[in-house]
């Protein structure tokens, strides 16, 4: 996007290959709502400042409304030879209303125009993904509430570690996603400044009112520096960085869905609506949707890298390289939107196997920490208690038993402090309930966390 004049300085037409290479309307065409919105705010300000006549302004606003309707009906003819969304709309306007259309561009440049369009589009896109995250959080709150009494192994190193509630695990996903939501809200707030009126790089000689156009477009204020306004895209870096982090979280959730739906885990069954079959093995029910979520993370992270590399060597102010910011931004937002929608559907329609999860608690010595804690509560230094519990696990492994199947004599031989109350500590639900601390898996704490999440979501719906 340059400020090259059409005619005047140039005696030759642009080479056909160069024209095709530089055309961007196939990508930036989706900015048409923001482009028209920004143009209407701009022309109304020009009229208010007596830079344009009221008649010209009315013709331009009416003409832009007609173009908007034409695009919405799918009747608008996009012309690649006119390079981008801005020139397509301006050319259509001039064709429709004559000379007045050529006055639309008074006091601005395509440089501040596209920077404004991208801030408007990205701000709206952040809001949209925030709503998508909230939809998934609603699903997780419902699933957690409905499975409060499902117990399962918690894992470290993908090894069974300690017992937790399924609801507690689902709420861990929710906390990750809520932070992703916050990053997008922060990014949208920080980008909410208007570049419009910065023109090519040095502002304009016309007595425009930048505060008026900023207010009309819902921005908090005009940007403070015209060079920065047209040449900076860190607002896109921040938004896509938030999307990349969110995508990594979605990939982790997807990985657990894949694991849990495998025959080796069998903790859950995904619905037919979010699984596929095999072209050769009729027994297969493949978790393709979470696998694709996991795979698409690379696209979103790649979009972030694309933007960072594109920007890293650019001098101020505008450079044509910045035309290439749109494809990765659009793709990142589209991809995360789809991933959130797919996971919402997959999790909402999944069923969990309470018995299978409970059975998984019976092997792997998830109660070993309870033995160590039992001793520590009776004054035995924890490191010593940890060692004693480890020896008991070793003995149980050698005998092919669980810790609860070892006789009291084995415990007392390991440490004189043991008595038969140690066996009560080996109950999995009792072990979970003893962890009655903020953020812990005890039933009351998890129920309160579900209620708190629902409260957050209710507040947002009412905002």
Q: Nearest 5 degrees, angle CA 84-CA 86-CA 87?
A: 70
- Specify the pLDDT at position 13: 82
Residue 4 has pLDDT above 50, yes or no: no
* pLDDT tens track for 303-347: 999 999 999 999 999 999 999 999 999 999 999 999 999 999 999
**pLDDT tens-digit readout, 187-233:** 999 999 999 999 999 999 999 999 999 999 999 999 999 999 999 99
Q: Burial level of 272, CB count in 10 A (0-12/13-18/19+)? A: exposed
122-196+230-351, what's its fold?
Fumarase C; Chain A, domain 2 (1.20.200)
Active site residue 157: yes
Rounded to whole angstroms, the Cα distance separating 201 from 229 reads 8
Confidence category of residue 2, pLDDT binned at 50, 70, 90: very low
pLDDT for residue 463: 64
Angle between the N-to-C axes of helices 443-462 and 110-146, in degrees from 0 to 180, rounded to the nearest 10: 140
For residue 1, pLDDT beyond 80: no
Residues 327, 359: Cα–Cα separation, whole Å: 49
Please count the CA atoms within 13 angstroms of the CA of 335 that sit on its side-chain side.
27
Question: How many CA within 13 A on the CB side of residue 24?
Answer: 20
**pLDDT of 432-455, one tens digit each?**
999 999 999 999 999 999 999 999
Residue of 157, 261, 337, 415 marked active site = 157
pLDDT at site 7 = 54
Stated as kind and residue range, the H or E segment containing 351 is strand 351-352
Per-residue pLDDT for 10 more than 80?
no
| Token couple for 213 | 């156009």
- Model pLDDT, residue 76: 97
Per-residue pLDDT tens over the stretch 151-172: 999 999 999 999 999 999 999 9
Sign of the torsion angle spanned by Cα atoms 8, 10, 11, 16: negative
Q: Do the Cβ atoms of 457 and 138 come closer than 8 Å?
A: yes
Name the DSSP class of 269.
E
Mean pLDDT calculated for residue range 286-310: 97
> Where are the strands (E) in 112-222, listed by range?
151-156, 159-165, 193-194, 221-222
What angle do the packed helices 54-72 and 32-48 form, to 10 degrees? 170
Tokens 């920080």, residue located = 190
The DSSP call for residue 440 is S
The pLDDT of residue 184 is above 70 = yes
83 Cβ neighbours under 8 A, 6+ residues apart: 19, 22, 23, 24, 25
Report residue 379: phi and psi, to 5°: 95, 0
3-class DSSP state of 438: coil
CATH assignment of 16-106, among 3.40.50.2300, 3.90.1530.30, 3.30.310.160, 1.10.275.10: 1.10.275.10
Q: Please, are residues 71 and 32 in contact by the beta-carbon 8 Å criterion? A: yes
* pLDDT tens digits along 67-97: 999 999 999 999 988 989 999 999 999 999 9
Backbone angles phi, psi at 135, to 5 degrees: -65, -40
Catalytic residue, chosen from 53, 81, 128, 278, is: 278
CB atoms under 10 Å from CB of 409, counted, come to 9
Does an H or E element contain 455, and which?
A: helix 443-462
Look at residue 350 and tell me whether its pLDDT is greater than 80.
Answer: yes
pLDDT level of residue 400 (50, 70, 90 thresholds): very high
CA-wise closest residue to 138 among 440, 463, 461: 461
* List of residues 6+ apart from 386 with CB closer than 8 A: 372
From residue 449, give the alpha-carbon distance in Å to each of 52, 105, 138, 175, 435: 58, 54, 13, 10, 14
Sequence spans of domains, the chain: 16-106, 122-196+230-351, 360-462
Of 352, 291, 390, nearest to 143 (Cα)? Answer: 352
For residue 284, what are its two tokens? 């297969």
- Whether 278 is a known active-site residue: answer yes
Q: What's the mean pLDDT when you consider all of the chain?
A: 95
Please, what CATH class does the domain formed by 360-462 belong to?
mainly alpha
- 179 pLDDT exceeds 60? yes
pLDDT digits (tens, 9 = 90+) for 32-50: 999 999 999 999 999 999 9
DSSP H or E run through 329: helix 326-348
- Position 5 scores a pLDDT of 41
CA–CA gap between residue 17 and residue 228 (Å, rounded): 32
Place of tokens 């025959």: 263
- Per-residue pLDDT of 22-36, as tens digits, reads 889 999 999 999 999
The CA distances from residue 460 to 140, 171, 267, in Å, are 16, 18, 32
> Which residues on adjacent β-strands are paired with residue 351?
269
Share of the chain above pLDDT 70, in %: 98
pLDDT at 3 over 80: no
């Amino acid at each position: 996007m340059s400020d090259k004049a059409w005619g005047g300085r140039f005696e030759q037409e642009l080479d056909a290959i160069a024209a095709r290479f530089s055309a961007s309307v196939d990508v930036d065409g989706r900015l048409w709502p923001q482009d028209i919105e920004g143009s209407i705010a701009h022309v109304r300000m020009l009229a208010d400042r007596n830079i344009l006549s009221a008649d010209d302004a009315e013709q331009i606003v009416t003409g832009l409304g007609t173009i908007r309707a034409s695009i919405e009906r799918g009747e608008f003819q996009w012309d690649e030879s006119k390079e981008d969304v801005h020139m397509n709309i301006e050319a259509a306007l001039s064709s429709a209303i004559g000379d007045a259309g050529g006055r639309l561009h008074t006091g601005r440049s395509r440089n501040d125009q596209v920077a404004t369009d991208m801030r408007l589009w990205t701000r709206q896109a952040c809001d949209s993904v925030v709503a998508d995250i909230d939809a998934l959080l609603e699903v997780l709150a419902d699933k957690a509430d409905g499975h409060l009494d499902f117990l399962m192994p918690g894992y470290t190193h993908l090894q069974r570690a300690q017992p937790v509630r399924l609801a507690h695990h689902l709420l861990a996903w929710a906390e990750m996603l809520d932070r992703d939501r916050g990053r997008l809200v922060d990014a949208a707030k920080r980008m909410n400044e208007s570049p419009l009126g910065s023109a090519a790089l040095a502002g304009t000689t016309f007595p425009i009112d930048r505060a008026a156009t900023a207010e009309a477009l819902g921005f908090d204020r005009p940007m403070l520096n015209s060079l920065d306004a047209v040449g900076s895209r860190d607002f896109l870096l921040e938004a896509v960085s938030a999307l990349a982090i969110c995508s990594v979280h979605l990939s982790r959730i997807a990985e657990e869905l894949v694991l849990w739906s495998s025959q080796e885990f069998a903790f859950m069954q995904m619905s037919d609506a979010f699984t596929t079959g095999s072209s050769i093995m009729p027994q297969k029910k493949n978790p393709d949707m979470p696998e694709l979520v996991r795979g698409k993370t690379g696209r979103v992270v790649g979009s972030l890298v694309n933007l960072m590399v594109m920007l890293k060597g650019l001098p101020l102010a505008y450079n044509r390289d910045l035309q290439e910011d749109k494809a990765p931004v659009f793709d990142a937002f589209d991809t995360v939107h789809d991933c959130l929608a797919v996971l919402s559907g997959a999790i909402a329609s999944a069923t969990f196997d309470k018995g299978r999860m409970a059975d998984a608690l019976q092997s792997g010595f998830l109660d070993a920490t309870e033995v160590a804690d039992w001793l520590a509560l009776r004054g035995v230094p924890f490191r010593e208690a940890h060692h004693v519990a480890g020896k008991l696990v070793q003995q149980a492994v050698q005998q092919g038993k669980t810790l609860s199947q070892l006789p009291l004599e084995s415990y007392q031989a390991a440490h004189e402090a043991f008595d038969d109350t140690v066996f009560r500590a080996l109950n999995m639900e009792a072990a979970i309930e003893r962890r009655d601390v903020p953020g812990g898996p005890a039933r009351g704490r998890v129920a309160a966390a579900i209620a708190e999440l629902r409260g957050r979501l209710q507040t947002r719906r009412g905002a």
